[in-house]
Each structure stands twice: as structure tokens, then as C-alpha cells.
Amino acid sequence: MLRPGSRTPGRTVPLSVLPLRDLLGEALAGMLQRPGRSALTALGTVLGVGTFVAILGLTATTSSQIDGRFNALTATEVTVEDVAAEQDPYAGPAFPEDADDRIGGLNGVRAAGVYWTVRTGADTQVRAALVGAGTQGSDIDVVAASPGVLQAAQPTVSQGRLYDRRMDEDGEFVAVLGSGVASRLGITTLRSRPAVFIGDQPFTVVGIIDDTQRKADLLLSVIVPRTTAEKVWDPPEGGGASMLVATELGAARQVAELAPTVLRPDHPEYLKAVPPPDPKTLRTGVGDDLGRLFLLLAAICLVIGAVGIANTTLVAVLERTGEIGLRRALGARGRHVMAQFLAESGALGALGGLVGTSLGVVTVVAVAAARSWTPVVHPATVLAAPVIGLATGVLAGLYPSWRASRIQPAEALRR
């Protein structure tokens, strides 16, 4: 029996070869023999690669939106803190009575106001003056705030109105409730002109807010005018008050530099202005957290796809044992058989990668269009995704193709 490569007198039997064209043709024929199985096998890679592209695209898109949100809100917020007690224990409150007007006169300032949490006493109850009203408690915060605080916080008023500067200057006993406190006290409407008692002092509820752009803890507080709070509970102690400043975009850092001097030209060290954090750093941190979380999900999908390709290829090897034996008997070498099955699994992975890339891009565009965002998909992601699918298919087919190359012709033909 002559073997490929053996020699006889006068002639040599050449070694069998498998051209690339024939290899690709055989791989395509193997996939088309069972198109349904091939499609289901590639589905895992489609989901994995599609998730990969969609996640990276949505992360990039949301990062740009986060950047815009930080620029619009966080980058336009300045907090001024009273640190007089740290400098001089006998200094008293650092904010002057006309603090709102002084800061409001700076260029780029939209609204500004002083606020502090009122110390009403541990036993002071906050309750509603309604029959059958909700619960009461001493753990409800009472916040004294000038009207500028409410303007700077940009609240959404669900009922009623906010108290104005005239009410604050006249020291009227009015209050604005956060939605959380209103629900707890059982106040659902302002038609009956409800009131809340803070200790023994009644305050007429003039408004309920259910959302704020800044200082969200106001939603869990009873907010009263600054002048009224000073009349009932005395001014805050040194270090107890703060100021919230809303600025135009790009003016926050300049306002933060000028605020201490404008408020207290005699002792600017009594006040500490906190400028907004760098929005790029915040955006990067949020984007990285989202990216790591979602890329883990994409990796899991790719692993599932690889396992599916490996299982299907291994079953195909077992089903085509007779075909493999015949090929070996006709001169095909083990590496030819291995290359054929690797080409099939790689083709399934590449096809899944292409389809998954398309679906991922469509998903990003659809989500961005639904939210009126600008879709962002990096070209490197689109180019890398099909390669990832191909690599997944090749890696998944290594063991089944190696096993196919180890099948001996005689053993295969006996089955």
C-alpha cells in the first residue's frame, strides 16, 4: 500500500495539499448542510458581539450626556460654608444679613441664598394641624432658608407656591414642604390651607415641592423663611449656616474666588467657598463604572456563544466520523481535517460578529433617537467586533477540530 510521500523506483507520490479555496469551500458546504443549526450556533456570538458593541456605544453616548448634565448643573453650583468658628470661637455667624444681595450682584450669579438646619430641640415635634393627619416626629428636619435658596435649588412645585422675599422680610409664619414630609404628615392638598406645628408654633403651608435640581435633601424637610426662623429660634451659631449659589455656565470658579471677599471684606477667611468638581473627572468615573459592569455582561454572552459553537462543532465531528475517515483514506492529513473544522467554527464566529455588530449599532442609534441624544460609536469598536467574533469561533473550535484530526481512517470506516 502506497502512502502519500512514499517512494517507489522511478516515481514519488506527492503529499496531499488543501488549497485555501478548497478549504473555504468545504467550510461553507459544511455550514450549509445544516443551515438551521448553523444559525442557532452563531446566535450566541451574535448576542455576545451585539451586546459588546451596544454597551460600548451606549456607554460613550451616555458619557456625553453625563458631561452635559454635569456642565449644566454641577458645574454651575457653588457652596459657601461658614468656618468662622474655626478661626475665632467668638466670631459669631459669618454671613451678613444682606448676603443674598451681595452675591447676587456678582456677574454670572443666577440665584443665591443662605440656609441652615434649625435646632428646634430634641423633643420638638413636627405635626400637621389636621384631624386624622399622618404621623408626627421629632426627626423631621426644619431648614431655614432665604428665598434665594429655593430659586437656586430649582424645585418643581407640585402644589401652591414658594414663599417670596416679602414674606421673608416680614417674618411671616409660612412653610414649604418637601413631598416626602408632606406624605408623612398626611397633607395631600392645599385647598384647605393646612398648617404644620413645629413645637407649639403653627406655620401655614404655602407650597409642596416634589423634585429639585439641587439640594435634594429639601424634599425631606420643612422649609421656613430665614427671618422667621431667627425670630423663633434665634440666628444660627457660628459655623452652622451655608450658602447655595447657582451661576451661569463657566462662572462658578470665578464666583467661588470672589464670594468670601464680597461677603466679608473684613474677614474673608471666615468663609470657605467650595467650587464645583471637575465634570470631566466625574464623567470619567461614572463612565468607567458603567463600562466595567456592562463589559462583564458582554463577556458572559461571548462565553455562552463560544460554548455553543464548541458543543455544536463537537457534535458535528461525531456525526461526520464516516466522512472524516473517507477523507483520511483518500489522503487527507490530520491538519487538513483540523483546518476544515476550524474554518467552519471561525466562519460561524465571524458571521455572528458581523450580524452582532450591525445589531449593536442599530441598538445604539435607536436608543439615542428615542431619548433625543447624539449617538456615539467609536470606529475602533465597529472594526474590532467582527474580529472578536472570529476569534471566539476559532477558540471554540480548537478542541473539536483537534479531536477530528485524531480520528484514524480504519476506525472511522468501521462505524
The predicted-structure confidence for 174-230, as pLDDT tens digits, reads as follows: 999 998 888 888 888 888 888 999 888 899 999 999 989 888 889 889 999 999 999
Give the rounded percent of residues in the chain with a pLDDT score beyond 90. Answer: 25
Please determine, for residue 236, whether its predicted confidence score (pLDDT) is greater than 80. Answer: yes
Q: Determine the pLDDT at residue 389.
A: 81
Do 318 and 236 lie in one domain? The reply is no
What pLDDT band is residue 3 in, cutting at 50, 70 and 90? very low
Domain count for the chain, please give it. Answer: 2
Mean pLDDT of the chain: 79
Evaluate whether 394 touches 349 at the Cβ level (below 8 Å): yes
| Poorest-pLDDT segment among 21-30, 71-80, 84-93, 143-152 | 21-30
Do 240 and 310 lie in one domain? The reply is no
Nearest to 165 by CA among 225, 224, 207: 225
Do 200 and 293 lie in one domain? The reply is no
Domain stops at, among 259, 277, 295: 277
- For residue 1, is it within any domain? no
Q: Determine the pLDDT at residue 2.
A: 35
Domain stops at, among 229, 262, 277: 277
pLDDT digits (tens, 9 = 90+) for 337-388: 788 778 878 888 888 888 888 988 998 899 888 888 788 888 887 888 888 8
Nearest to 301 by CA among 52, 54, 42: 52
Query: What is the spatial distance between Cα 132 and Cα 93, in angstroms, rounded to a whole number?
Result: 41
Mean pLDDT, range 259-280, rounded to an integer: 84
Do 298 and 189 lie in one domain? The reply is no
Q: How far apart are the first and last CA of the chain?
A: 22
Mean pLDDT, range 290-311, rounded to an integer: 70
What pLDDT band is residue 285 in, cutting at 50, 70 and 90? low
Question: What count of other Cβ atoms lies within 10 Å of the Cβ of residue 403?
Answer: 16
Question: What count of other Cβ atoms lies within 10 Å of the Cβ of residue 263?
Answer: 24
Domain residue limits at 265: 77-277
Query: What is the spatial distance between Cα 325 and Cα 312, in angstroms, rounded to a whole number?
Result: 20
Using DSSP bridges, classify how beta strands 141-145 and 221-225 pair: parallel, antiparallel or unpaired: parallel
Do 340 and 369 lie in one domain? The reply is yes
Please determine, for residue 319, whether its predicted confidence score (pLDDT) is greater than 80. Answer: no
Q: Determine the pLDDT at residue 289.
A: 62
- For residue 13, is it within any domain? no
- For residue 121, is it within any domain? yes
Do 194 and 47 lie in one domain? The reply is no
Please determine, for residue 321, whether its predicted confidence score (pLDDT) is greater than 90. Answer: no
- For residue 12, is it within any domain? no
Do 225 and 332 lie in one domain? The reply is no
Site of grid cell 443662605: 114
- For residue 5, is it within any domain? no
- For residue 11, is it within any domain? no
Do 63 and 207 lie in one domain? The reply is no
Domain stops at, among 233, 262, 277: 277
Question: pTM of the entire structure?
Answer: 0.55
Please determine, for residue 120, whether its predicted confidence score (pLDDT) is greater than 80. Answer: no
Query: What is the spatial distance between Cα 27 and Cα 343, in angstroms, rounded to a whole number?
Result: 6
Do 50 and 117 lie in one domain? The reply is no
- For residue 193, is it within any domain? yes
Quote the cell numbers at residue 338: 483540523
pLDDT digits (tens, 9 = 90+) for 5-45: 444 455 555 656 666 676 667 667 766 677 776 777 777 77
Query: What is the spatial distance between Cα 366 and Cα 32, in angstroms, rounded to a whole number?
Result: 33
Question: What count of other Cβ atoms lies within 10 Å of the Cβ of residue 33?
Answer: 12
Evaluate whether 397 touches 352 at the Cβ level (below 8 Å): no
Do 266 and 137 lie in one domain? The reply is yes
Please determine, for residue 251, whether its predicted confidence score (pLDDT) is greater than 90. Answer: no
Do 84 and 172 lie in one domain? The reply is yes
Please determine, for residue 100, whether its predicted confidence score (pLDDT) is greater than 80. Answer: yes
Do 272 and 292 lie in one domain? The reply is no
Q: Determine the pLDDT at residue 394.
A: 83
Query: What is the spatial distance between Cα 268 and Cα 188, in angstroms, rounded to a whole number?
Result: 45
